Structure 1
Amino acid sequence: MFVLDANNPEALAECLKELNWLAADENIVTLTIPGAGNMNCVLRVDTGKRRFIIKQSRAYVEKYPQVAAPEERVVTEAAFYDKVREIPFLQGYMPRKIGVDVSNKLLAIEDLGPANDCTVLYNEGEQLSEETFTKLLEYLSGLHQQFMKNKVDDELENEEMRKLNHEHIFKYPFMVENGFDLDTIQEGLQSLALPFKNNSLLRQKVEVLGGLYLSKGKYLLHGDFYPGSWLQTEKGIKVIDPEFCFYGSREFDLAVFIAHLYLSGQKEDLIALVADKYEGFEQLNRSILNGFVGTEIMRRLIGLAQLPLEMNLERKKTLLDFASKLILNEKI
């Protein structure tokens, strides 16, 4: 398999010409890393005439090579882009697909230009504008409404990626002994997490939610709708990295969005607008939605997938208590 390497533009140029993604007289002038990636190797190709993004999925997580991952994930991502292309409104929020090479697990997509992801929201005091908030919800509800099935089938099942995500969302954070000392993240976090890890009722509820996540559903989900997948560009907010996409319960997508509003310290009056801005909110199962919100908050605080949070232990305890009540369907 061809191996994508930022230090070998000549080999990449030869590969891309064989795929007809580069013209015969076109060469790579620069090959750079566009931003901090988690799952895949991602590079920006500049030929002097145009720029585009090339990404490759390998049999492990790029940021955590010790973690195995399905290497077919960019092929699934490419299929998602193909579907979104059918709806101009949704395509306007995402880069266009240029091509996919199944054998080498390569995906080429449009370069959205100078951009920063929205993980800056985790900095204390950073607030999401109501305009951007509204656009993100318009994208999410539009995705769910436009790609709704009357009958569940196997399209975009993405089973292996969901199994990987299931492990890190619904199992690993709630294990008392998982080999990850939370005190390496923040002194005192390990003991703070123990009462939640030892709560058998909480673990049972999370296990049920995990089973629902693994079940097939009627709505096409982005699958990882959090600030790392939102790009602020010169043309406004964009959405990237749908490699965890699948047809499932739309409560999951919306819950991840809501959970990160809490984790990033957004104002309550903005969070309350979700009910007005998300089309079909009144039709959602509120217990399932809240359960997913609580689980996402907890896994980001006491799981492996840590965020760049500026948050003391007292605030984390408040959020963990809140998340626990959401999962247990207790009065807030």
Structure 2
Amino acid sequence: MLLSDNLNILKTYLHSKNWISENEEVIKAEKPGNGNMNFTLRVYISTGKTFIIKQSRDYVEKYPSIAAPVERAITEGKFYEFTQTNKKLHSFMPDIFGIDEVNNIIVTQDLGLANDFTNLYKSKQQISTDEITSIIEYLSELHRSFRSETPNPIFANRAMRALNHEHIFIYPLMEENGFDLDNILKGLQKVAMEYKTDRDFKNIVKNLGEVYLSDGNYLLHGDYYLGSFLRSNRGVKIIDPEFCFYGYAEFDLGVLIAHLKMSEQSQKTIELAITNYKKSDDFNEILLNQFIGVEIMRRIIGIAQLPLTLSLEKRVDLLKEAKSLITNA
């Protein structure tokens, strides 16, 4: 079954799963935001309640030509179930109401007309101290509370990791990948070739990719960037953990710091994030810096572009910083 915004189809399906009662009607369905990966609807019920229903398909919703693991919504639903035994983490995430493993559909709490943080890439606005504190509090709690020497196999998530690995560590540095960066910003393709043709640099990135693919002891959100945070009337909320897996804690924090840099957050905010994160004894600062650098690199010269308004000169500076972080130069 493929979800549809057809109200009759929705009503029949929701009744069949007992997610709404027989006397409840679906009166409206709309897209809740500009998600990339999945088909998602906000559903309005005649009794006044609303919820979010999400289906993952065997392709990326925004880019149907890109294949993606079809079960990713189920992984997300199980992440919510697994982590919400922790009250602090539960307070940051939507409730999970239902999981349909046959059709790769989940139903979650509607967090209201909340906005994500992606406007920061182009607005020059700053994240507040309370917001960055909450974002780091969640990450510290997730990594500390679900650390395990024998990771739960439910969250191996190897197919999604393979997809992410391709777009983070491989695709951006392919000399011929069919993606002309001059269509993003004139002159960017020439800049990118400096990195695409640097064999030593590419080998370091390749080795980092192997670290990413290897199993670690920390449950990660897996996509901890500004699009996964919501500003709601109940504070910061964390969503979209479909890339979750057991890996290295440095990856989640590294991705976050990279996006703080690309959205031109203040050095004070970046330092606050790094200082407030509760590091374990085995935390590796060099690996953190390398993951920061890789995320910057792939977002500037890879296909997963952000709504950046940065000049070519600023992107060049960020790429130089990224290379330095990756090579520890």
TM-score scaled by length of structure 1: 0.97
**Where do 1:1-332 residues align within 5 Å?**
2-6=1-5, 8-48=6-46, 49-152=48-151, 154-280=153-279, 283-330=282-329
Shift of 1:203: 0.6
Mapped partners of 2:282, 2:263: distance in 1: 27
Report Cα offsets for 1:259-316 as digits up to 9, x if no partner. Answer: 0000100111211122320011664111111111000000000000000001110000
For structure 2, list consecutive stretches of 5 or more residues without a partner in the other structure: none
Report Cα offsets for 1:13-53 as digits up to 9, x if no partner. Answer: 10111101010111101001110010000000000320000
SS at the partner of 2:153?
A: coil
Mapped partners of 2:240, 2:319: distance in 1: 28
Mapped partners of 1:179, 1:240: distance in 2: 32
Q: Please provide the CA RMSD for this pair.
A: 1.0
SS at the partner of 1:123?
A: helix
Alignment coverage as a number of residue pairs:
328
Counterpart amino acid of residue 270 in structure 2: I
Counterpart amino acid of residue 126 in structure 1: Q
TM-score scaled by length of structure 2: 0.98
Counterpart amino acid of residue 236 in structure 1: G
Shift of 1:152: 4.4
SS at the partner of 2:85?
A: coil
Mapped partners of 2:151, 2:326: distance in 1: 26
SS at the partner of 1:81?
A: helix
Q: 8 Å contact 1:93–1:237 — kept in the other structure? A: yes
SS at the partner of 2:156?
A: coil
Counterpart amino acid of residue 321 in structure 1: K
Aligned residues with identical type, % of pairs? 48
Report Cα offsets for 1:71-127 as digits up to 9, x if no partner. Answer: 000111111001121001001000000001011111100000111010011014211
Mapped partners of 1:323, 1:282: distance in 2: 25
Q: 8 Å contact 1:124–1:265 — kept in the other structure? A: no
Q: 8 Å contact 1:162–1:244 — kept in the other structure? A: yes
Mapped partners of 1:58, 1:154: distance in 2: 22
Counterpart amino acid of residue 11 in structure 1: I
Where in structure 1 do 4 or more consecutive aligned residues deviate above 6 Å? none
Q: 8 Å contact 1:21–1:99 — kept in the other structure? A: yes
Shift of 1:155: 3.5
Mapped partners of 2:250, 2:31: distance in 1: 34
